[in-house]
Amino acid sequence: MTGRARADRTEPLAVTGIGLVTPAGIGTRATWDRVCAGVPTAATDPELAGLPVPFSCRVPGFDPRIHVGVRQAWRLDRCTQFGITAAREAVADAGLDPASWDGARVAVVMGSAAGGVTTYESQHTRLLRTGPRSVSPLTLPAFLPNMAAGQTAIALDARGPVLHTATACASGATALIVAAMLLREGACDIAVAGGTDAMVTPLCVTAFAQMGALSGRAGNPAAASRPFDADRDGFVIAEGAGVLVLERTADAATRRAPVHALFAGYGSTTDAHDPVAPHPEGRGLHEALVRALATAGAGPEEVDHINAHGTSTPLNDAREASVLRRLFGARPPTVTSTKGVTGHPMGAAGSIEAALTALTVSHQLAPPTANFRRPDSGTGELDLVTGEAYKHPLGLALSTSAGFGGHNTVLAFRPPE
């Protein structure tokens, strides 16, 4: 805590920068365009050949030598490479230059479900096949979970609070909540925050498949991720990163920064019910929604759109639809799950979808839920955006996330004033 005055804890924060590395493309524009077009990204994955589920959503054409340099390309885990790439885009988008900012007043908060699991698996395989002398001395600096945050801070010369969050598939959204708290406490003036994960690995894919969590549509991967559809049979594993730059609105106004959206509120809860299954009545998600609306100073009737967690698993989608029906009743907001396009990027999902929600209110355009064909009794009362992106006046929009361990997060965004 510095000597600077604390910010108003009820004041919305400004989203001044967005950076995305997703299966829909490298960069915010590429991702937004494909998500709005509703074109799925899932495809057969040669690296998963012979495994129970041989398809995934990969980031297309990602060459780490281009994005983080030749030296860092072999020193950093894939998830850290994604995180740094997205963070640099977000900072540039915000009109900021790390060469001239006061790094002591810049925070970095990065969330990840599994950290450098790509490095962990590859080095463990080396150990078993060729012995200890083949294991890289860079193994630990590459796979420790906090390294995405630490290496991003090094890349940006950010010397304020640098933290890692781990709430499974809600990790990226949790990182944004922590960043908002740091700004509102006056612990920093700029927060670079989001999530990154690269869990499309043989062990992770096999483990999810053994749980029955993944779609089994190997014959038609592009149609496999079907959020809220009656024929959904599991999620498609994905990778990527989403990073936002948050600032206090007064600071953003002072430097005449571009503002994509206002980060208006948030809620965070835990089911305290089961390690992997959501609470049958959606107790935790409901409370997280209520808390997000309270911190945004809004009621359910003011919500115009929701970017849902919508994994395409039978249980999660039914639980989430039930909670939304119960809370919003006779005036349901429009709902989208962008996982129909991107698949499920694990710990990066929450921040990627937060970025897409900020863009939704900025552009006043709600992306469609790809691959949705017909509802079932559990999802039929949702006002899903399907087919084409839907342009309509949008005030308050929410982004929901959930993760193993019972974690629930809800983020609220408004258009810039």
Selected catalytic residue, list 57, 169, 188, 204: 169
| H runs (alpha helix) in 171-313 | 171-184, 202-211, 249-254, 283-295
Do the strands 55-56 and 190-198 form a parallel or antiparallel pair, or are they unpaired? unpaired
Tally the C-alpha atoms within 13 A of residue 158's C-alpha that lie toward its C-beta. 30
Contacts 24+ apart (CB under 8 A), 164-168: 164/109, 164/110, 164/111, 164/112, 165/109, 165/110, 165/111, 165/195, 166/111, 166/112, 166/113, 166/347, 167/111, 167/403, 167/405, 167/407, 167/409, 168/113, 168/346, 168/347, 168/403, 168/404, 168/405, 168/407
| Residue given tokens 């860092």 in the structure block | 72
Q: In tens digits, what is the pLDDT along the chain, a chain of 417 residues? A: 333 445 566 789 999 999 999 999 999 999 999 999 999 999 999 999 999 999 999 999 999 999 999 999 999 999 999 999 999 999 999 999 999 999 999 999 999 999 999 999 999 999 999 999 999 999 999 999 999 999 999 999 999 999 999 999 999 999 999 999 999 999 999 999 999 999 999 999 999 999 999 999 999 999 999 999 999 999 999 999 999 999 999 999 999 999 999 999 999 999 999 999 999 999 999 999 999 999 999 999 999 999 999 999 999 999 999 999 999 988 899 999 999 999 999 999 999 999 999 999 999 999 999 999 999 988 888 999 999 999 989 999 999 999 999 999 999 999 998
Alpha-carbon radius of gyration of the chain: 20
Q: Could you confirm whether 273 is annotated as catalytic? A: no
Tokens at 9, concatenated: 């804890």
Selected catalytic residue, list 164, 260, 344, 407: 344
Q: Could you confirm whether 309 is annotated as catalytic? A: yes
Nearest CA-CA partner of 13 in 178, 132, 142, 134? 178
Predicted local confidence at residue 101, as pLDDT: 97
- Residues 12 and 248 sit within 8 Å (Cβ to Cβ): no
Q: Could you confirm whether 36 is annotated as catalytic? A: no
Query: For residues 357 and 353, what is the distance between their CA atoms, to the nearest angstrom?
Result: 6
Query: For residues 88 and 275, what is the distance between their CA atoms, to the nearest angstrom?
Result: 35
Concatenating the DSSP letter of every residue in 1-49 gives: --SSPPPPTTSPEEEEEEEEEETTEESHHHHHHHHHHT----EE-GGGT
- Residues 384 and 336 sit within 8 Å (Cβ to Cβ): yes
Query: For residues 87 and 242, what is the distance between their CA atoms, to the nearest angstrom?
Result: 8
Query: For residues 247 and 398, what is the distance between their CA atoms, to the nearest angstrom?
Result: 19
How far separated are the first and last CA of the chain, in Å rounded?
A: 30
Helix (H, G, I), strand (E, B) or coil at 77: coil
Tokens at 378, concatenated: 């559990």
Angle at 235 between CA 233 and CA 236, to 5 degrees: 125
Selected catalytic residue, list 279, 286, 305, 309: 309
Tokens at 237, concatenated: 């594993």
Tally the C-alpha atoms within 13 A of residue 23's C-alpha that lie toward its C-beta. 32
